[in-house]
Structure 1
Amino acid sequence: MAQQEPQAVERELTMSRAMVEAIAHEMREDDEVFYMGEDVADYGGIFDSTEGLREEFGYDRVMDVPISETAYLGAAVGAAQAGMRPIAELMFVDFFGVAMDQIYNQMAKNTYMSGGSVSVPMVLTTAVGGTYNDAAQHSQTLYGTFAHLPGMKVVVPSTAYDAKGLMHNAIRDDDPVVYMFHKRLMGIGWMPAPDGPKTPVPDEPYTVPFGSADVKREGTDVTVVTLGLHVHRALEAAETLAEDGIDVEVIDLRTLVPLDTETVLESIGETGRLVVVDEDYRSFGVTGEIVASAAEERLADLEAVERVAVPDVPLPYARPMEDEVIPDAEDIEAAVRRTRE
């Protein structure tokens, strides 16, 4: 009897390992790609965003920088305009205010203001999100802030598969990309991730296209639109609701700029009910943008709309207070039920 070939075992990666794998591949392929940020070399990034890169590529291409976001993000913009492809890490998105001139008045605008004579092919990576009690200056998401300002593409992976594919695409893009990873999804030992972000990831490089939302769960009764950590909380809520016969469709936006409204509108056309969930602030943010788009294009189809987001308060340090303001699966479940009342 002929011996059967062993079946290939599909490997699973954490989101941090998937990101690093994509970065390492692009650095091997292109000497102009380099990484810079605080604690990204010897430490490997405080959320394992660069673990192992310094050992392979050395200090010339994986650079620890002084604690001056203004200086090193400005240097990254200059390097990108000179033809390199820097990846610059902002340790916490909350620190964006220190370097807002470099981010928005330089990185985002210089291609436009130069009449297209320069491009800024750089990636700004940054950690977002709360749920681990690090207080108001280390716990925001601020997706909407960057998506609101023209000139930057904004991506938010929720799984290891998407994290790798979106990172490949971000590094190769000729425009500036803000790559926002949620701390709770990275799979690091001291901050356990929920079930879901650790996924099968191909060995070979691949891209996840910008502007392409992913239907994580199909359903016929209610559309839940979300991103990042709350994809997993929405899926948890959907499983609970299914026990009561409520069939929820969960859409992961994956990118905010460009935004895939078509997938959202198609789903609303089938369900007639919309719940938008976000870890950003409620006012002037992602939830409002999605609801407005739905109202403009599918108003006749909408029977009910709910928004689930962080209230307009600084993120508290105390665990019970933080748990109160950051939406969880029960909040999503309750919003879905309200759309059916």
Structure 2
Amino acid sequence: MSSVVVPIITPDTFDFRAYMVQSEPHAKVLSADTWKEQLLEVVRGGGQVTGARLPWAKTHDNIRFRGGEVTLWQGINGHGKSQLLGQACLGFAAQGERVCIASFEMKPVSTLKRMLRQTSMNDHPSEKAVNDLMAWAKGRFWLYDQLGTVQPEMIYAVIRYCADKLKIKHVVIDSLMKCVRGEDDYNGQKDFVDMLTGLARDLDIHIHLVHHVRKGENEDKIPGKFDGKGSGAISDQVDQSLTVWRNKKKEAAVTKLQAANKPIDDETRGTPDAILVCDKNRHGEWEGKVALWFHPQSLQYLGDKQCQPLDMMGHQ
């Protein structure tokens, strides 16, 4: 058995006090030629989209994740946003970009169990699959272990520590409501997201913020960026807003057909199991919807109805 394990970061095993102190303010008034090289890169690239990619080829020209930005991942509770984001993070790690997931709603072992199914591509992973994942994740993946509510000061420290000491490029905060006092704490939410945007910019990392959407009366209606719980300033401040929606109407139709021992017709099979909506893309031109199909054994989302699982450890 391999002794390699995914590193777990906890408040008890690391001293974050030094990272809770605000760093010295940087001079913000700079000559225009400070950005000359960056501007030349834009021109040389011919407007080509840059940044880490999602696992599905059809999104590569439209949605990317760059350092210095914050993406809001939102959805109705139970619609799979954390699961889909977890798959995306495996993809980021496979592209050579280090990831830390800080989930305050799920134990690290539960996150790892889901990752194991997504990387082994089945619902009965072997011991070899465990060892393969642990070996692959070394130097690519970290988990922050603290359940329940957490103080913004600790989040600030953890993110700075991850960027400075571990050279992590993607930090997942799951979820916003575990980091503020409540749904009606609008100033707290605004200040917290403002802190994240500042950290992302100053540390040149990408922060992924998970947020819950009001359920409403009809789950068949796809929510938008203004349907998130709490302050409207949340979506105003982030660089990208993505909504994950699960097609429960299709699930009910499939269950009904299966109960009657009837085959699933082509129209039903061709209907997406989930939709990923991009309705804010500050640094890109594309906004729209991405149809996805769900493979339950691997817990993977796929880009077409053939539903063939991807090798998430970098061979796709």
TM-score greater than 0.5 by the shorter chain: no
The structure whose RCO (Cα within 8 Å, separation 6+) is larger is 2
Q: With structure 1 as the length reference, what TM-score do the two structures score? A: 0.34
